[in-house]
Structure 1
């Protein structure tokens, strides 16, 4: 009888650990999404400043901005994939 009770307690503890891991994964992704958000803001603010200072370079700056934007967004996508793998 005691072995059955121990097995039930172990199963309940494991189920609680999975619930905690899902919550921690959500918090981790939320914190991980802050970095790309700040990065995108900095990228496009630099493009706006550069275009205001030198309007003829706007095309070159926008090309660079979209390239770096894609790289930064890949980090956010990796974070959401890791969130789903953890939960």
Structure 2
């Protein structure tokens, strides 16, 4: 197996693991945050606006982790620096 094929396989595997773990972690975090917000709303309905605003800010922060994992995955697949290094060594 050539080095180029090995780097391609490793990049695809790392990309898949990155997006899988990142999305699972974000989904669990968002679910727990939403469940806690709904429990808080059930206990204190008068504070609904404050709880909702804080929930949306928290959800955006949790979702940013999945977006970062997606960006890293796309870099590994399409702009991998190891490809360029290996190709420069071959020429």
**TM norm structure 2:** 0.76
RMSD after superposition: 1.4
Task: Give every structure 1 segment of 4 or more consecutive aligned residues whose post-TM-superposition deviation is greater than 3 Å.
Answer: none
- Corresponding pairs, count: 77
Q: 2:42 aligns with which of 37, 52, 55?
A: 52
Runs of 5+ consecutive residues of structure 1 not aligned to the other structure: 1-8
Instruction: Please say if residues 51 and 57 of structure 1, whose CA atoms lie closer than 8 Å, have aligned partners that are also in contact.
Output: yes
Q: Secondary structure at the residue paired with 1:33?
A: helix
- Of 12-21 and 62-71, more deviation after overlay is shown by 12-21
Q: Does 1:70 align with 2:60?
A: yes
**TM norm structure 1:** 0.79
Instruction: Please say if residues 47 and 58 of structure 1, whose CA atoms lie closer than 8 Å, have aligned partners that are also in contact.
Output: no
Larger radius of gyration: 1
Runs of 5+ consecutive residues of structure 2 not aligned to the other structure: 78-91
Whole-angstrom distance in 1 between the partners of 2:33 and 2:73: 26
